[in-house]
Amino acid sequence: MKFALSTEQLDFAAELRKVLDAAQVPTATRAWAAGDTAKGTAVLRQVAEAGVFGLVVADEYDGADATAVDLVVALVELGRAGVPGPVTESAAVIPALLQRLPDATAAQRWLPALAGGGLLGTIALTDTGTLPGIALDADTADLVLLATGDRVSLGVRTDAPGDPLRSIDPARRLSPVGAGELVADDAADAISYAVDLGVLATAAQLLGAGRALLDQTTTYAKQRKQFGRAIGEFQAVKQQLADVLIALDLAEPLLYRAALTLDSDDRARDVSAAIVACGDAAHRASRAGLQVHGAIGYTAECDLSLWITRVAALRTAWGTADFHRGRIADALRAAEPAAV
């Protein structure tokens, strides 16, 4: 399969990158982690004004009615910038879920505001109604949903206000959520599709974060000197950075294939392959970044740490690597011809 982004998609990515570069996202992310979401909310408002939250929303709900590829293009840039907040949930999962519910009432109620940036949403998932789901940034979101089995409900926080659960990424504020008002039942297919789009969106952010880590590490390797030479001139450093670049470049086609096959029978296999490849590549970029930066890379004052902790959290936010490898294996076994 040959794939290339269109001129419009490349221009969209370039414009979005300019917006995010000017938005001082690392400062907003640090403030978000400290409980001050004003700067981060301003960044998310700019993201919404650029049309990101309405990309996969139908035009009848004031969205762009764009493709999954367009969504991936945008979320790679958000991952590269390290944007805080429930990005996957607001841009991908909730729009996909609400538009596939049997009744359009919920979509009519919330999607226009979500697409326009007037509403920030998050969602928690749980297999049974006896255990709470865990929602990202429920203390900041305007809309909190809970998906349980085949039911979708409004989410009700069950933790003490101001006391979110701890994540390895300080900017990811997690809260247990229980079920409130019923929004829809018989929604298993809608939930399944929305979760897979969430996996795809997270894979895109991981690829973008990996690219950011590689860029920062390459820049540092050109500036840092030892024995009178930039450390980037040493073969051991060059090899590490080359390995990261290769891993990211090999993961990218899997990401876009998953976007192209989202409405096919290969959806589960391909989104799982994408997040495993993008997660592994981003993790490799994190390790190389720490090794090249040395001890300073571990410090909270170094911007590198913002992306390292984000990668560590996103790799398991929508299923562990073992879970996704299991889905890939199941799909491959199911595709094998029956023995004669």
Q: Predicted confidence band at 223 (pLDDT cuts at 50, 70, 90)?
A: confident
For tokens 């841009």, name the residue.
Answer: 91
The total number of structural domains that make up the chain: 1
CA distances from 175 to 132, 159, 239, 327 (A): 9, 6, 41, 28
Tell me the residue range of the domain where 324 lies.
Answer: 191-334
Can you give the pLDDT at residue 128?
60
Which pLDDT tens digit goes with each residue over 59-89?
999 999 999 999 999 999 999 999 999 999 9
Residue 129, pLDDT > 70, answer no
Type of residue found at 8: E
Q: How many percent of the chain have pLDDT more than 90?
A: 83
173: in domain: no
The rounded distance, in Å, linking the Cα atoms of 262 and 267 is 5
Instruction: Taking residues 112-136, report their average pLDDT.
Output: 87
C-alpha gyration radius of the chain: 20
Assign residue 208 the CATH number of its domain: 1.20.140.10
Residue 269 lies in a domain: yes
Whether 328 is covered by a domain: the verdict is: yes
Which amino acid belongs to residue 59? D
How far apart CA 295 and CA 181 sit, in angstroms, is: 49
Convert the pLDDT of each residue in 19-45 to its tens digit: 999 999 999 999 999 999 999 999 999
In a domain, 135, yes or no: no
Instruction: Give the predicted TM-score (pTM) of the model.
Output: 0.95
The verdict on residue 224 lying in a domain is yes
> HSE of 218 in the Cβ direction (CA atoms, 13 Å)?
14
Q: Are 313 and 169 spatial neighbours (Cβ–Cβ below 8 Å)?
A: yes
Q: Is residue 185 part of a domain?
A: no
What distance lies between CA 153 and its chain's CA centroid? 23
The values of phi and psi at residue 35, to 5°, are: 100, 0
In a domain, 161, yes or no: no
Q: Classify residue 208: in a domain, yes or no.
A: yes
DSSP characters for 280-337? Answer: HHHHHHHHHHHHHHGGGGGSTTSTHHHHHHHHHHHHHHTS-HHHHHHHHHHHHHHHSP
pLDDT, average across residues 211-239: 86
Percent of the chain predicted with pLDDT > 70? 96
- Residue 110 CA to residue 63 CA, distance in Å, equals 12
**What is the C-alpha to C-alpha distance for residues 245 and 26, in angstroms, rounded to an integer?**
23
Is the pLDDT confidence value at 301 over 90? no
Residue 160 is predicted with a pLDDT of: 66
